[in-house]
Structure 1
Amino acid sequence: MKRKILVTGGLGFVGRALVDRFADDGHDVTCMDMGKGGYRSDVKFVQIDIRNAKAVYEALKGFDSVIHNASLVHTKQNRIEDVWAVNLTGTENIMKACGDLGVQRLVYISSGSAVYEGKDIENGDETLPYCSVSQAPYADSKIAAEKAVLAFNGKTKTLTCAIRPHVIFGAGDNRFIPSIMQKAKAGKLTRAVGDRDKLSDFTYITNLIDAVVAAEDRLVPGSAVNGQAYFVTNGEPIAFFDFIEDFIVEMGYPKITGKVPYWLAYSVAAIAEGIDTLKGGTLNAEDGMTRFAIKYMVTHHYFNIAKAKRDLDWTPKVSLKEGIKLTLAELAKQSNTAKAA
């Protein structure tokens, strides 16, 4: 059934994939983002800052569903007020507008970081408690926002759920994979952090989009999805630097043979964060050199996706191996197009 669906953060990596899928499925889609520009004639684009409650309220009039994807990814221990203003206050503005306007469905794009405390998570499921210690402004604010969204379920006509992906990659990625490529090209990916014995989950973009589409479709009265959170990954845990190595070897670079001790990498990251803080804090510049990111590399964090499979009737269709090949093929295509231009 055709619905009016609004996607926040719709010009980013995940947001654009969501906009495209819902539009391709025949829905009436609006993309909301702080950035300018539209790229599809069948999609309406509105430039709005979700921190502006009045603007959010006006923008959400007449919609059946909202996919709230917009957030500020910033794992350094600075610019804390900015991160909370976008990730929590912005989410609260979205929720209030949904409730006041009678928007029926609200899907929140959360994060696997909601339960991560800097310690191993092995096959963790949704019964894990929220992280009880501060890890980074991003993780802390996403936890608060997810709690608020799930608690909001059913208080008005709005039904809610949360999707928790982990390390999303794929064609269109403008952060994670480009950073890997830049480091490989510069010869900076010759050493791993730690012993490469800890496993991590990764999520290919279309597998995530499939899950979000399934969740939005099932947010109806009496559904098992209402008020629930779901881990959504490829379900193929692999050591972080093994995943990186698979990418760079496909690109023609040598394997990662060296090793940096965790304590050294963590210390360097702490110094880098400190310097960045003295400069005022740099947003949208995640390069893996934060204490939060370094901890991720040396701890198990992989999740059980059985609940999503059961309630959403979903399964990851694209394997890690296939996802890597598809991503590199798209990047090569983009590179060739740019050279031709």
Structure 2
Amino acid sequence: MNLRTCVVIGGRGFIGRSLVLRLLKLDDRIVRIADSAQSLQLDPSETNSLLPQALSTGRASYFHVDVRNKPQIINAIEGSSVVFFVEAGTSSTHDFYGCYTLIVQGAKNVINACRECKVKRLIYNSSADVVFDGSYDIHNGDESLLYAWKFEDMLTDLKAQAEALFLFANDIDGLLTCALRPSNVFGPGDTEIIPFLVNQAKFGWAKFIIGSGNNMSDFTYVENVAHALICADEALDSRMVSVSGKAFFITNLEPVKFWEFVSRILEDLGYQRPMIKLPAMLVWYTVLLVKWMHAKMASTKLNGSAPLHGVVRLALRTSTFNCSAAQKHIGYSPVVSLEVQENIRCIPTPTLSSLPACCIYGGAGAGAVANILLWRDEKKTFTCFLALVLLYYWFFFSGRTFTSSAAKLLLLVTVTLLGHAFLPSNILGFTVERISSSSFEISEVDMTNLVTAIACMWNRVVQVTRALAQGEDWNLFFKVAVSLYFLKVISSHYLTEAIGVGLVLAFTSFFVYEQYEEEIDGIVNFLVNAMGTAMELLMDNLPPV
């Protein structure tokens, strides 16, 4: 049997591991695993897989490869017939130079090494995100779509540059290339979308649906991506003109509602389905505000705002893709259907450390607050509103000082609790419910979240204070000074009125916005566009300097 040698660069990554195992199932392949780790360390889950046996028999071998080091690439690929470049092994998404050298410069090194070693085929695993910037919906998009004009995250931008390099390198020195664009890959080893959602569910945030919940998305199981890569290799081996130098979208061919997909995942893992709808534009502008604040505070790390931004974009927009070209030209069809109930059990539950500290606090109480403010339970909402109005009157309109009001309130609560304890269990046929001791306890998780939130806010204050102490950011100084001045004015003269207005708005604005979201968004967009036009006219009519 004539064995063909395959090299998988990024073979220990999410997609790379699945591709390696699928190649080993083919009897005519010798697999070289190339990755950035110094040596191959097998996970416990791989003990009973084909990989240990293949390593012992020589059908598989491991090469330490830093794609920034061209001689190491040559050492790994020399004598091979096909190279799969599936992942560059980026360790930090906040280091532009490091990511650029790994993704873009690494692509150049791999291409040049393949040309020098006379490799016949080179296949790059790209992403459907290279044509999706989140500014508009994509319905059944095909390969005629152009690259996105502006990318919201650095990695997608760099991946688009790398993909272009691979496609332009086609048919130079006998090297045939193509690229695959899988959409929203998930499965065992996933470190992005699904772990993020599961981590949100652990702390209560996954109860919310952003927008209408009707947007569609394409998801791709990792086994199908590995299968598509092998199909592309076989098509290039046949020297099909319709494949070389081309890019192909890869999906499970089963577009689903994004929130239905999320709900099925969370239900299978024992979490509650998302039920509470939040206004789409409100969430979007909030995320943009958080992203802007991170940038203005000159934080050395974005603390997960980029992943959060990407997930919110995915949750708001429709992004479905047409795979007819991949079906026709490389013979692709999914080998694993989108049965999340079967597949999701293989995905490890993420840990707390994968979420930014500032995103953790809010927990189980976040859903209860949303239910109250959005009037999901009118009786409970009215009770809470009445209680807050009474407290507002007690502290601000009773004619007493704040300390005196607080002391009398505590005395009233103490007497009420004591009197409740002495009441009989049944009064005139009505059962008196006893208050359990657990009602006065704070769970360890809630306390941890509270302390984490306080620490996060403290660190933000320290960052701002440090920036002010350096005396270089006048923009930040004026923002802090103006904010503190307005806080001083409000607290000195208008504190009572501000709290009253805030109380009324809290119980009306969210409800009204949810009922008339499209109308309000239209008015806001009109005002924003009008202000933009006015500013342009003003700038055009300013006298020249």
Q: What is the TM-score normalised by the length of structure 1?
A: 0.88
For residue 87 of structure 2, what is the amino acid of its counterpart?
A: A
Q: In structure 2, what is the equivalent of residue 281 of structure 1?
A: 301
Whether the 8 Å contact between 1:72 and 1:83 is mirrored in structure 2 is no
Is the contact between residue 202 and residue 233 of structure 1 (CA under 8 Å) also seen in structure 2?
yes
Does 2:209 align with 1:192? Answer: yes
- Match runs of 1:180-259 below 5 Å: 180-220=197-237, 222-223=239-240, 224-259=242-277
Whichever structure has more helix as a proportion of its residues is 2
AA at the equivalent of 2:294: I
Is the 2:264–2:341 contact (alpha carbons within 8 Å) kept by the matching residues of 1?
Answer: no
**Alignment equivalent of 1:147, drawn from 154, 164, 181:** 164
Check 1:281–1:46 CA distance in 2 against 1; reply closer, same or farther (3 A cut): farther
* Aligned pairs (5 A) from 1:99-138: 99-118=115-134, 119-138=136-155
Whether 2:313 is the aligned partner of 1:295: answer yes
Report the counterpart of residue 14 of structure 1 in structure 2.
15
Residue of structure 2 equivalent to 1:32:
34
User: Per-residue deviation at 1:310?
Assistant: 0.6
Distance 1:132 1:161 in 2: 22
- Separation in 2 of the partners of 1:332 and 1:82? 28
SS in 1 for 2:237: coil
- Tell whether 2:178 aligns with 1:161: yes
Offset, 1:37: 2.1
How many angstroms does 1:174 deviate by? 3.4
Q: Which one is further off, 83-92 or 253-262?
A: 253-262
Whether contact under 8 Å (1:201, 1:302) holds in the other structure is yes
Amino acid at match of 1:289: L
8 Å CA contact 2:36, 2:89 repeated in 1: no
Instruction: Report if the CA contact (8 A) 2:90-2:102 is conserved.
Output: no
Unpaired segments ≥5 residues, structure 2? 43-50, 55-59, 350-545
The answer to whether the Cα contact below 8 Å between 1:199 and 1:301 also exists between their aligned partners in 2 is: yes
Amino acid of the residue matched to residue 7 of structure 2? Answer: L
C-alpha separation in 2, matches of 1:154 and 1:73:
29
Instruction: Supply the RMSD in Å over aligned alpha carbons.
Output: 2.6
TM-score (norm 2): 0.56
SS of the residue aligned with 1:189? helix
Q: Could you say if the C-alpha distance between residues 10 and 273 of structure 1 is closer, same or farther in structure 2, counting changes exceeding 3 Å?
A: farther
Provide Cα deviations, 1:107-136, integer angstroms capped at 9, x if missing partner: 100110121132111000011112222332
CA contact (8 A) 1:220 1:226 kept: no
Query: Per-residue deviation at 1:279?
Result: 3.9
Distance in 1, matches of 2:81 and 2:34, equals 15
- Equivalent pair of 2:64/2:72 in contact (CA under 8 Å): no
Query: Structure 1 residues 85 and 293, CA, compared in 2 at 3 Å: closer, same or farther?
Result: farther
Matched position secondary structure for 2:231: helix
- Secondary structure of the residue aligned to 2:205 is coil
Amino acid paired to 1:327: N
Q: Deviations over 1:131-179 (max 9, x none)?
A: 2223321121111111110111101121111010011112232333233
- How many residue pairs end up in the alignment? 329
Task: In structure 1, list runs of 5 or more residues that go unmatched.
Answer: 334-341
- The 3 A distance-change label for structure 1 pair 74 and 33 is closer
Distance 1:206 1:184, change over 3 A: same
Distance 1:56 1:281, change over 3 A: farther
Identity rate, percent: 28
Contact 1:171/1:330 (<8 A) preserved: yes
**2:191 matched to which residue of 1?**
174
> Is the Cα–Cα contact under 8 Å of residues 107 and 212 in structure 1 kept in the other structure?
yes
1:289 is paired with a residue whose SS is helix
CA contact (8 A) 1:200 1:302 kept: yes
1:198-249 CA-to-partner distances (Å, cap 9, x unmatched) read: 1111001111111111111121363121111110001211222221111111
Give the Å deviation of 1:273: 7.3
Q: In the alignment, does 2:81 pair up with 1:61? A: no
Amino acid at match of 1:32: A
274-283 vs 226-235, greater mean Cα deviation: 274-283
Give the distance between the partners of 1:137 and 1:287, measured in 2 at CA: 9
Q: Distance in 1 between matches of 2:156 and 2:92?
A: 7
- The amino acid that maps onto 2:251 is T
Higher relative contact order (CA 8 A, sep 6+): 1
The CA distance in 1 between the partners of 2:76 and 2:184, in whole Å, is: 30
In the aligned structure 2, how far is the partner of 1:37 from the partner of 1:297?
A: 37
What are the within-5 Å matches in structure 2 for residues 35-46 of structure 1? 35=37, 36-39=39-42, 40-41=51-52, 42=54, 43-46=60-63
Asked if the contact 1:72/1:138 (under 8 Å) is kept, the reply is no
Residue 289 and residue 230 in structure 1: after superposition, are their counterparts in 2 closer, same or farther (change >3 A)?
A: same
Check the 8 A contact 2:153/2:306 in 1, yes or no: no
Q: Which has the larger radius of gyration?
A: 2
